Amino acid sequence: MREFNNDIIKRNVLGSSIFKDESTLLLTYIPPRLPGRDEELARLSRDYKPLIMEKKAYNINVAITGPVGVGKTSLARLFGEGFIKAIKPYKDVMLFYFNCYSFRTKSAILREITGKHFGISSRGLSDNELLTQIFNRLKNENKSILLILDEAFLLGGNDILSLIHSYESYGFGYSPISMIIISRPEEYKSYLAMQLKGKITDLIQLDVYDRETFKNIIDFRTELAFKPGAISDDIKDLIIDIVNETKNTRHMIEILYQCGKLADMENKEEISAEMVREAKNNVYPVLRPEMLNTLRTQELISAIGIAKRLKHRGIISTSIMESYDYYKVTCEELEIEPHSLNTYRNYIDALVKYGIINKITKQIGKGRRGRRSRLTLFDIPAKVLEEKAYELVNQRLKSEKS
């Protein structure tokens, strides 16, 4: 039996693969160039040029907005990495990237910087004390920071504004922290624009890619990821047809990755149209892994309840009260004490804010009492949301018991 199992392992580990480098299709990978974004890279370079031109440092804060899948994160990180290398002979800049799905508060970001990157214990220290530690270290080592905040609306305008103004309390005569703030347009307008008005050096708004740019991107990514001959031009065109509907480059990358995994599973040397169709059905670009992973357990259970309610007889939308009943049933199944309706409403607000579910408010009478909110899902099948949320909750519960 052991020899048989070893043969299976050996065959799959040492066998051939359609990939040349599958890591280049992971969502965390930052490519060495971004087709269609040369103009924005040059613009960012001009924005941050004063950091090396001026003897007395000050902070520069740029916001990058655009819909999902237009390269906001890749643009910011590619620029950041290139920028600190380019100015190394003139100035020592440290680059920090934080996705605010994982780091929801200013305190979490400051503790990560002081602990992981500076080796300073943050136990028992307030935010102001943490900032003092950071500024003292930066001043003594003659360094500054370029801080990239992804999905910055989750952190909120007030916390970002306090970081921008934080240096004013220390009298060092310089501002050592500059930022790139990444957000989708709707969230930027709703949660950040007013608070940060007058503090943003430049607002770069990324448009969706056209078909020609999608072609350039898929050619570049397949050359990085796959062996020659693994994907034909006809298959590329099929994927572009799909992605041209969603206007989401991340969708394209995930389909390519899933196609490669299917080809390896079937021991094929070329990606087929059927693999593309299967991959498309398994990929939902709106439901990113980090979104669910950073939800609290009760928020996940609330999402399960909503998904269950929407699956019931295929209804289009549900009220908060109706979904609350399904939330309580889910808690009972998981042997977890349900929370109150008011607390449940907070979980709903969080799910709406993170883009997991959608809330539609309709006017059915006069005044505020005539407004009714309904919960629905625009882009994620209820079955998929329920399955993925259940999987995470069960993993957490099992981990707690062990």
Q: Which domains does the chain have, with CATH numbers?
A: 38-205 (3.40.50.300), 209-282 (1.10.8.60), 289-401 (1.10.10.10)
21 in Cβ contact with 256 (< 8 Å): no
Token pair 């399955």: residue: 387
Question: What is the full per-residue pLDDT of the chain (402 aa) written as tens digits?
Answer: 555 455 544 445 545 899 999 999 998 899 999 999 999 999 999 999 988 876 555 789 999 999 988 999 999 999 999 999 999 998 899 999 999 988 989 999 999 999 988 888 888 899 999 998 998 898 888 889 999 999 999 899 999 999 998 877 666 556 889 999 999 998 899 889 999 999 999 999 999 999 999 999 999 999 999 999 999 999 999 999 988 888 889 889 999 999 999 999 999 999 999 999 988 877 776 676 667 888 899 999 999 999 999 887 667 788 999 999 999 999 999 999 999 999 999 999 989 888 788 887 754 445 545 557 888 887 677 888 898 899 999 999 988 877
Spacing of C-alpha 355 from chain mean position: 11
Beta partners for residue 97, in sequence order: 148
Q: Whole-model pTM above 0.85?
A: no
- The residues, ordered by sequence, that sit 6+ positions from 123 with a Cβ below 8 Å of its Cβ are none
Written as six digits, the tokens of 162 are: 């306090």
What is the rounded distance in angstroms from the CA atom of residue 95 to the CA atom of residue 92?
Answer: 10
Please give the single-letter amino acid code of residue 32. Answer: P
How far is residue 235 from each of residues 158, 247, 279, 285, measured CA to CA in Å? 47, 18, 13, 20
Displacement of CA 336 from its chain's centroid (Å): 29
| The two three-digit tokens of residue 89, written as one number | 């002979």
**CA distances (Å), 209 to each of 151, 202, 206, 245, 272, in order?**
20, 21, 9, 11, 25
Burial 373-392 (b: 16+ CB within 10 A, else e): ebbebeebebeebbebbbeb
The span from the CA of 388 to the CA of 288, in Å, is 11
Q: What confidence score (pLDDT) does residue 102 get?
A: 84
